[in-house]
Structures are given as structure tokens and as C-alpha cells.
Amino acid sequence: MSTIEQTTNEVSTNGLSRRHFIQAAAATGVAIPFAQMIGGSSVGAAGKVFRYAAQAQEGPAAPWMTKGGSLGILNAVGSWLADVAPSGELVPSVATKWKGANGGQTWTFTIRTDVKFHDGSALTADDVVYTIKSHLDPKNKSQSAARIADVADCVKVDAKTIRFDLKKANANFPYAVSSSNYGLLMLKNGVKGDESWVAKMNGTGKWIMVSHKVNEKTVFKRNDNYFDKAQIPAFETMEQIQYVSQSAAIPALKTGKLDSIHLLYGNEADTLPKAKFYKTLVPTCGGLHMHMRADIGQLTDKRVREAIALTLDRTAYIKGVLGGYALIANDSVMDSFPTADKSVPQRNKDLTRAKALLKEAGVPNGFKVTLQSWKRDDIDKFTQFVKSSCKEIGIDVTVDLDGSDGGGARWYAYSVYPSVKGSKVANKGEWLASEFGIAEWAGRPTPDEYLTREWKSTGDWNPHYLDAPELDAAVDAWTSALTPAKKKAASSAIQKASLKYTPIIIVYNETRVSVTSNKVKGVEFNQQGANWSTGKNA
């Protein structure tokens, strides 16, 4: 039995212990970076209604159209083959077990037979196959498709078994069809996952949508027929209230109009009285990714990109502005995973070297450049950090943050989606068409999605348009690696290539901070921001 089969057999056991799973995962290089770091205190008595502040939506909360801010809603009403728990573990959900074969190129999932949609109809294997195939159908323009692009076929073996045939081996495939790829929640056979789905949100999750007002409030009632009885919340009702700035939700929390704020600045959370509120901390591999176009504009020279990276005092920013609620990153998405090569030197502030690089690049006195993104608490602060830092080597950064629509819809317009290698897209002030921009990425249980969609030259969410065969090859090596040694080697290559070309600057990996009233217990979020609150004692 290969390592991968051994591991997945262990995972498939319903009664798998967390320690057991972590050991198994580590053996195959499956990344569970923060498994031991769980928040979620549980004090006081749970109320009947749980009201929490979440971020604003960037688009409709529809399975095929997933964008930032829709996660909270889809996570409430939906369920997936597997779930990523707050611990970072991959745990059974609609699938009770899964198994890899053929060196990780074939995967079979055994599904439950007691799952029901909110309309009362039973979930079948056909529904699961339809869900996957609907995302793979190009005409549906699914935002989640790229993550499962390696699926050659998805077939129903019998009423309880689904088989995935992959184009190439992928040890981390179960994550690709888990809640971390949150658009892949179960759809009823034939039902469209586009904007029309939002009216009813007929999912199989533990919450049933009662009312939904975009970017204001979504009200859910508890699904007493949810298949995993242990996960049925104690709360009867849940209200998700959306804020563009989470800081603005503090008065509502203080006056008891909210029970919890998800994603608050750590140092703001620290100002709230401990006697009334408790913090939940979830270290993640997510954060702000600042891309620089390698094909057009002022940043095409990799020495200029490196110079910008060298102006940033990461340690000071994390300690000061972020109040220590983040881990230092080294301009690569691999840094926080156990497979990272820790011998790769950490990039630190070095103005002498930065100035020398600008001189070598022929712009010793700097230049003017516009940094674009959308208005959000962390982005507001980070852009000022970049502006202030770049000023030290003569680069005059103009900050242009779009807040016109109360969210990030304009920034994430996807008018040039998917990114096409070598397309020379003009700067349009959108994420995928901006010379110098920032996107916020939630945490992921493995780096695969970042690598294949954002970092690789052929990625559908490649905002930097860098075409570096060295980096692409390292990403390919990562996704196909089946042994820990190969994973580590691939990670090292990715880290080195990331520093060499610097298409994206990643200063920190954020620690997600939630603040909750002591009156409410059992409030948890996973590293991606999915709400796991049950209102029960943890």
C-alpha cells in the first residue's frame, strides 16, 4: 500500500483522532499548518439568536460565482464532500470516507445516504456528479472550476460512491472538493448555481436561509434535519450582518446588538474589556498579496520589484500596526506550511540594497506608480505602509482604493477573467488588470489553490503576468509530488523562485481575530473564515 492510500484510509475512518490525522497528514506532506492552534472559548449561556458581523460581499452568494464575502453565506447553507475544520483538519461531511489510488490519480468518495436538501428532497450520487460537472462546464463560468481543472472525469460508481479520474496525480485532491473550495457546495441535479440560486439557496447545510439582503443582512434558521446531528447548532437563528469596515461594528457589539465580530483588527480587539468579550485567534496562511505586473508598466524589471520588497519593515509592521496578530512572510505562499524550506533566507528591510537595485535598473531617483485595490480596513493600512516605505527610495506611490460600491465588486470585476498568458492586458484598475495591486486571500488548508491559480503563468487568477518557466516547473513539481521529501524539494524551489522574480509581495500571514460577547459560547471560525459556531460548549 502506498503512503497516500495508507493515509486516506486512515482519514476515511469516522472515528479518526485529531492527533492521528495530523500524523498521517504530515507523512504525505498534506499541509495542516495550524492544526494545534484553535481558538473558540466557551463561556456563558448560548442565546437563541446568534448575530455576527461579517465582511461585505463582492458579488452574489452563488455557487458558480463565489467571491469574497459570500463565503459566510454559502458556508451556512451548504455542505461539501469534506470540510476543513477550524483546526485545519479535513473532516468527513457529505462523504464519510475517501481513498486515493493509482498513485493519487484516482479518488473515490463514499457518500452518505441521509443528506437532505432544504426543500426536503434527498441528496443522491447524481446530485454530487452534477455539482462537480456543472463547475467544469465552461459555459457556467464557475469561479471554482480552476481548482478542479485536473479532473478528467467524475462518475457515479453506485448510489453511494463517486469516482474522480484526474489528469495527473494530486495528493491533496480531497481539499479541492472540500469546503475550502467553497463554491462546490452540493447542488440539486439540474439546478443552476448562478445568481438565480440565491433566491432560495436550496443547500444541504446546517442553516436554512430565511431572508437575504445583499450587503446588509442574511437571516438563517437552524436546519434540524442536518445529517450530522453533532453539528446541529444550539442557536435557533443566525443573523449575518455585513460591514465594509469591521471596526464600524464595534459599537453594535458593545451595545449588545451583535454577539460577535469576525475579522477584527487585533489591536482594536485588545481595547475591548476582557470581562465582557473574548477573542478567538486563528493563525492562517492568508493575507494581502501585492502583485506587480511583469509584462507592462513600471515594474517589469525584477530588480525594481525586489527593491520595493526590500523597503518593507515587516517585523515592525506586524508588531506595531497589526499588534503582533500575524506571522512574518517571505514573499511566497509556502512560508507558513510545514513543508516550507526554513533555510531560505528571510527578506528584510535593506534600503541600501534597494537603492542599488533601482540604480542598476536605471531608475536611481525612483518613479511614480499607482497602487490599486479596494477600501477595506487591512488594505487601507497596508497601502499606507507601502507608500511610506517606498518613499524612502524615491518611489512615489499614489494610493487608489475603490470604495464606490461599498465593497470590492469593481476591483474584482473579472472583465479580463481568466488571465491569459501573454495577453498584455492594459491597466484597467481591476485586480487582474492592474499594474500594481492588492488582493486579500483567505487562508487555505494547502497552498495548491494559490499556486495553480495565482502564481503559475497559466493560472486563471494570475495578476502579475510573470512567465517564469522555473516557477511554473516548481509549482508542477509541488502538485504532483507524493512524498514528503518531494513536497519539501518543490516547496524550496517555489520559495527561491518567488524571491528571485518577486511577482507578488507577501509581508505577513494573518491571524484571524474574532471577538465575541462572553454571553455566547461555542463561536469558532476556520482559517478561511467559515463560521463553525454552534453555540455549544467546545
Partner 1 sequence: MSDETAKQAQQTVLSERLAVLKKNKAFIVGASILGFWVFSAIFGKLIARYDQDFMDYEYINSAPSLKYWFGTDSNGRDVYSRVIVGSRIIIVISFLATLLGAFLGASLGLAAGYLKGKFDMILMRILEAISAIPVIIIALLAVAAIGRSSSIITILIIGFIFTPNVARTVRAAVLGESELEYVAAAKLRTENTAHILFREVLPNVLPTLIVEFTVRLGYAIFAVATLSFLGAGLEAGSPDWGTQVADTWSLIFTNVWWPTLFPSLAIASVAVSINLISDALLEVFEL
Q: Which residues bind partner 1 (CB under 8 A)?
A: 245, 247-248, 250-251, 254, 265, 267-268, 271-272, 313, 316-317, 319-321, 323, 375, 380-381, 383-385, 387-388, 391, 398-401, 403-404
For partner 1, the closer CB: 36 or 398? 398
Write phi, then psi, for 67 (nearest 5 degrees): -145, 170
For partner 1, the closer CB: 66 or 383? 383
- Encoded amino acid at 249, one letter: A
**What is the C-alpha to C-alpha distance for residues 467 and 456, in angstroms, rounded to an integer?**
8
Contact 449, 334 (CB under 8 A): no
Helices (H), 189-311: 250-254, 266-269, 302-310
User: Nearest approach, Cβ of 95 to partner 1 (angstroms)?
Assistant: 43
CA distances from 491 to 3, 290, 347, 433 (A): 19, 20, 17, 28
User: Nearest approach, Cβ of 44 to partner 1 (angstroms)?
Assistant: 22
For partner 1, the closer CB: 10 or 400? 400
For partner 1, the closer CB: 103 or 323? 323
**What does the block give as the cell for 356?**
542599488
**What is the C-alpha to C-alpha distance for residues 483 and 489, in angstroms, rounded to an integer?**
10
Q: ω before 233 within 30° of 0 (cis)?
A: no
**What does the block give as the cell for 156?**
457515479
User: Nearest approach, Cβ of 273 to partner 1 (angstroms)?
Assistant: 11
Is the sign of the CA dihedral 80, 86, 90, 93 positive or negative? negative
User: Nearest approach, Cβ of 377 to partner 1 (angstroms)?
Assistant: 8
User: Nearest approach, Cβ of 349 to partner 1 (angstroms)?
Assistant: 11
Strands 49-55 and 260-262: parallel
CA distances from 461 to 176, 275, 354, 441, 452 (A): 16, 44, 29, 12, 9
For partner 1, the closer CB: 313 or 467? 313
**What is the C-alpha to C-alpha distance for residues 407 and 223, in angstroms, rounded to an integer?**
30
For partner 1, the closer CB: 165 or 400? 400
For partner 1, the closer CB: 254 or 486? 254
Nearest alpha-carbon partner for 283 in 258, 266, 260: 266
**What is the C-alpha to C-alpha distance for residues 511 and 199, in angstroms, rounded to an integer?**
34
**What does the block give as the cell for 154?**
467524475
User: Nearest approach, Cβ of 268 to partner 1 (angstroms)?
Assistant: 5
Write phi, then psi, for 396 (nearest 5 degrees): -95, 105
User: Nearest approach, Cβ of 395 to partner 1 (angstroms)?
Assistant: 12
Instruction: Kindly provide the residue ranges of all beta strands, DSSP E only, lying in 64-201, ordered along the sequence.
Output: 82-84, 90-92, 95-101, 106-111, 151-158, 161-166
3-state secondary structure of 97: strand
For partner 1, the closer CB: 383 or 502? 383
User: Nearest approach, Cβ of 338 to partner 1 (angstroms)?
Assistant: 30
Contact 435, 427 (CB under 8 A): yes
**What is the C-alpha to C-alpha distance for residues 358 and 351, in angstroms, rounded to an integer?**
10
User: Nearest approach, Cβ of 513 to partner 1 (angstroms)?
Assistant: 13
User: Nearest approach, Cβ of 269 to partner 1 (angstroms)?
Assistant: 9
User: Nearest approach, Cβ of 245 to partner 1 (angstroms)?
Assistant: 6
Size (the chain), residues = 538
For partner 1, the closer CB: 103 or 406? 406
User: How does DSSP classify residue 440?
Assistant: E
For partner 1, the closer CB: 13 or 384? 384
Q: What's the longest Cα–Cα distance across the chain?
A: 68
For partner 1, the closer CB: 127 or 440? 440
For partner 1, the closer CB: 132 or 272? 272
Nearest alpha-carbon partner for 12 in 79, 85, 108, 84: 108
User: Nearest approach, Cβ of 313 to partner 1 (angstroms)?
Assistant: 7
